[in-house]
Structure 1
């Protein structure tokens, strides 16, 4: 089969590799779509994976084409999203179903081979079955959709809440869609990229702000009267974090989600915001893949199938396997507007449009 193999920093090659064979309890999945996550960019160009060579890619879906020993053959021919984390099942976190907190996990696309390829073997436990009405491209976005809803659940968002999302990238937009679906009375988005804000407006979120051009605190208070009930920091910058603190009402909640791009220092005034307002700060990491209290992956599939969560408009680029590296360069160098960039194993693949 063909795969995008990372041999070293920046050295991603499409080449022939051995097609894997499913072991006991596994299936062979024909990969149909795999999103390029923002975390894939430093993984490929600056930080590396945990070993070389490695096939990256962890936001994916596909078609079950072969069942290993002990797997119900009824899985063959079914489409599924894939939870890419493989927990140890021995540590204290695994014992209570908090698999994202596993102390000795494996992970597809960084610690073991991932989905920028034509096939992959998947343990049956990691498959999230989906109805045929959902496209493979939609199912490849279940992973970021689950990450987004997990962040909102940390805040305990309630009906009528006003929500600020700082960072209007793909997961930021997904956060906004989830918040609206869950009954938020107003969803505000902030970003320093005008193209992202324009896209957000096009998705039905007119309340947007560029912090480089406006005082975000004054803007938020003008719209809400007292500040938002919940803010989510999704940009991974200290300025974004402080903007969230300043924009949240007394006794409000701030969720920290963005992967930091550097040091996350806080000014004295920012620290005072936490103290004087008695803000509740929560971190969020990955997603919940346990039925206790709720499997957020299945929740995302259910919301998509019910038409409550439409993620199709977020796909800005569909790439053939040979175009994945070029797509990553485009994202790294910000050569044009992009939202969700995706490898699609079909005839729908198109070349990267750098001015799109």
Structure 2
């Protein structure tokens, strides 16, 4: 089969490799769509994967085309998203179903082969069945959508909350869409890129601000009747973005740190005082919840898409096949064009 294989840092080659075969308890998935995550860019061009060669790609959906021993053959032809984390199932976190904090996990697309390929073998346990009413591209966005809802659940979002999101990339906009669906009174988006803010407004977000040009704290207070935001999510992974969240939060508010930083995260004395004097609750968020209780966030994402309460189709700005994948990722790295969600598709 054809796959995009990372042989070393910045050495991504599209080539023929052996077709995977599903083992006992596994299924073979024909990859139909795989989103390019922001984390894939440093993974390919600067940091590398955990070993080489590796096939990257972890935001994917496809069609079950074969099954291994012990798996019901009636699943062949089913559409599915795939939870890419492979937990050890034996550590304290796994024992309570908190698989995202597993002490010894594997991960498709970084620690083992992922979905920038025509096929991938996956454990049946990782398969999330999806209805035919959803396109493969929508199903592939279950991964970032689950990450976004997990962050808001960490913030204990409630109906009527004013939600401030720093960072208007794909996850930031998904956070905003989730907050609207959850019943937020206002959703406020900040970024330093005018094109991202313009795109956010096209998706229906009324309250946007350029954090480079305006005083974010004053702007948030003007929008929230001088109260501040109940929930703030840091989605850019930068120190100024973190400080803006602390300043935007109301007294007693909740701040969730989600952005994946490219370098050091530093907090000023004034930022630290915001935490103390407002008695803020500051939480981290990582990945998503795949446990059956209290809710599997992957299934929740698909349910909301089917119900029409979470429409992510408009976030896709670029599509590519495997042969054009490196060029698309270079565009993302160099920011030579505006993009939101870039998607590898294999619909033939």
TM-score in terms of structure 1 length = 0.97
Q: How does 1:321-336 map to 2 (within 5 A)?
A: 321-336=322-337
Separation in 2 of the partners of 1:311 and 1:199? 13
Separation in 2 of the partners of 1:87 and 1:197? 37
Separation in 2 of the partners of 1:94 and 1:346? 35
Q: Could you say which residue in structure 1 is the equivalent of 2:36?
A: 36
- Quote the offset at 1:16 in angstroms: 0.4
- Quote the offset at 1:346 in angstroms: 2.5
Q: How does 1:130-145 map to 2 (within 5 A)?
A: 130-145=130-145
Q: How does 1:138-177 map to 2 (within 5 A)?
A: 138-177=138-177
Q: Could you say which residue in structure 1 is the equivalent of 2:94?
A: 94
- Quote the offset at 1:144 in angstroms: 0.2
Q: How does 1:257-268 map to 2 (within 5 A)?
A: 257-268=258-269
Q: Could you say which residue in structure 2 is the equivalent of 1:49?
A: 49
Counterpart check, 1:71 vs 2:58: no
CA deviation map 1:286-312 (0-9, x unaligned): 000001211000000100011110000
For these two proteins, the number of residue pairs brought into alignment is: 347
Separation in 1 of the partners of 2:74 and 2:194? 48
Counterpart check, 1:320 vs 2:321: yes
- SS of the residue corresponding to residue 21 of structure 1 reads coil
Q: Could you say which residue in structure 2 is the equivalent of 1:188?
A: 188
Q: Could you say which residue in structure 1 is the equivalent of 2:281?
A: 280
Q: Could you say which residue in structure 2 is the equivalent of 1:125?
A: 125
CA deviation map 1:92-120 (0-9, x unaligned): 00000000000011000000000000000
- SS of the residue corresponding to residue 242 of structure 1 reads helix
Separation in 1 of the partners of 2:174 and 2:216? 21
- SS of the residue corresponding to residue 53 of structure 1 reads coil
Q: Could you say which residue in structure 2 is the equivalent of 1:243?
A: 244
Q: Could you say which residue in structure 2 is the equivalent of 1:353?
A: none
Q: Could you say which residue in structure 2 is the equivalent of 1:271?
A: 272
- Quote the offset at 1:143 in angstroms: 0.2
Separation in 1 of the partners of 2:18 and 2:86? 22
- Quote the offset at 1:276 in angstroms: 0.3
Q: Could you say which residue in structure 2 is the equivalent of 1:351?
A: none
Q: Which runs of 5+ in 2 are unaligned?
A: none
TM-score in terms of structure 2 length = 0.99
